[in-house]
Structures are given as structure tokens and as C-alpha cells.
Amino acid sequence: MKQFGIIGLGRFGRRMVDELLKADVELLLLDKNPEVIETFKNSVAAAYVADALNEETIRHIIPKDIDAVIVDAVDNMDVSILVTHYLRKMGVREIIAVAGTDQHGEIMQAVGATRVIFPNKEAALRIAPTLVSSALFNYFPIAENMALAELKPPQKFVGLSLIESDMRNVLGITVIAVRRTEDEEFAFVPGTYRLNAHDTLLVVAPDEVIGKLSHVRLSGGASGATGAKRSSDSNTQKRRSFLQHLFRRGR
């Protein structure tokens, strides 16, 4: 059975508890708020009311061989930095940190986070394009300059089969599934399926292609899935190097 820890039960942390409880996993929770811990203590393997700033507490509660730890202390940068540093010193393999800004995310990577989540930024990236475009119904960045999207079929392909349209080579998009009406679910269809103007296509494609088809500018980048985007700016690199040096000195 996989084992996960969640340190700091903010909005994202609580949502992760709800989702992970649906799976067959063991959860260890730590938060300084007794009311929050009380809410989950009977549903998880262990829940502790404790100060995450205490390194010995972290070492006592979190096993070194735990599968992953989520650090959700987005409202207290000092706590998130120190906790992530403690976990990295312990040798925890995967540390998922929640960040509120790009700068916060850069610091979290510098001190040991293997993945950085930006809940608010990710939500904005997903929702804004669908508000602007009448041809784009869902948009989910899955990698740098690559996304999963729901689109109407381009007019010039209506009436053609998927094979005849050859959209992968002509446009650079891969059609995964098709929804014929709003009341239906997405379904896999054969290459001989003929496109209808009322269809909705579930596709994977570069942001540039999705933007052209939906007539909306997309910023791209799956920050929530792949971590904070690494900047090439010299000041950013200097700040990261300084932080890494600082924490190496503290070991």
C-alpha cells in the first residue's frame, strides 16, 4: 500500500485528502490547527496536531521511505521553505509543494521540491480561454506548450471521416474521442467516423494550434503538472544558487 503525507491542510491539502481517501492508500496528516485535524483523524492512518517548523517532529512523523509528501503551507512561505528543506535532508523521494507565486515556486524548487503546484494559476489557465472563445469548451495544460482540449471540428473537415481529414498531419492535433451531443459522454470512434458540425472533439495538441482553431491566445505551460517554469533570468539563477548554498551550510 502506498503511503503519503500531507503537511499543512490548506484548501489544496484538504482537497487532496478527500481525493486520496477514495484510493487504497495510507495517509499521514500534520497541521497545527486541532479543528482541521479533528475533521480527518478518524478517516486516515494518522493525524497529528504539531508545529511543522520543528525538524524533529517532521522526522518523527514522516518515514524516510514514504512515497510522497505534499507541503501545503502556501500562506506561510517560511514554513513551506523549511519543511521542504527538512524533507529533502531526510531523503524523501517526492516532495510536492504548493506555491502562490512564481517566486515562491522557484524557492521551493531550490530547497528541494520535486514538483510545484500553483492551484490558482492552474485554474486561471484552464478557465480563461474557455470564457474568451466560443469554440473552446475545456482546456487543460498537460505539458509545456501542450494541452488537452474540447473543440468544435474545423468547418473544412465537417463531413469528412477522421482518416480523410488527416488532422494529425494537417493541423498537428490528435483526436482522442468524440461527443456527438451535449447530453452524451465522450466516446472512442473509428477512423471511418464522419465529423458533424455539432460534434465536440477531445484532442491533444500544441497550444499554438488550439489557439488558432479557437481564435484565442493561450499562454501555455502546465505549471501544476510539471512544476514551476525555470526562468533563464540571471537574477533568478543567482537567487536559487544562494538559497541552495545557504541550506547546504545548514546541514
- Same domain, yes or no: 102 and 134: no
- Same domain, yes or no: 101 and 190: no
| Domain range enclosing 220 | 123-224
Q: Is 221 left (phi over 0), alpha (psi -120 to 50) or beta?
A: left
- Same domain, yes or no: 80 and 175: no
Distance (Å, whole) CA 141 – CA 208: 12
- Same domain, yes or no: 95 and 71: yes
- Same domain, yes or no: 43 and 163: no
pLDDT in tens, 67-95: 999 999 877 888 999 999 999 999 999 99
- Beta strands (DSSP E) in the chain are 2-7, 25-31, 46-49, 68-71, 95-98, 115-117, 136-143, 146-151, 174-179, 200-206
56 or 149, higher pLDDT: 56
For residue 231, the model assigns a pLDDT of 38
- Same domain, yes or no: 104 and 136: no
- Same domain, yes or no: 104 and 161: no
Q: Is 58 left (phi over 0), alpha (psi -120 to 50) or beta?
A: alpha
- Same domain, yes or no: 95 and 163: no
Please give the DSSP secondary-structure letter assigned to residue 249. H
Whether the predicted pLDDT of 240 surpasses 80 = no
The per-residue pLDDT of the chain, averaged, comes to: 81
For residue 223, the model assigns a pLDDT of 43
What is the tally of structural domains in the chain? 2
- Same domain, yes or no: 130 and 46: no
For residue 226, the model assigns a pLDDT of 41
Contact 210, 135 (CB under 8 A): no
pLDDT in tens, 123-162: 555 555 555 455 566 767 777 777 788 888 888 999 999 9
For residue 127, the model assigns a pLDDT of 56
For residue 162, the model assigns a pLDDT of 94
Secondary structure percentages of the chain, helix, strand, coil, to 5: 40, 25, 35
Whether the predicted pLDDT of 53 surpasses 60 = yes
Range of 7-21, 208-222, 225-239 with top mean pLDDT: 7-21
- Same domain, yes or no: 38 and 25: yes
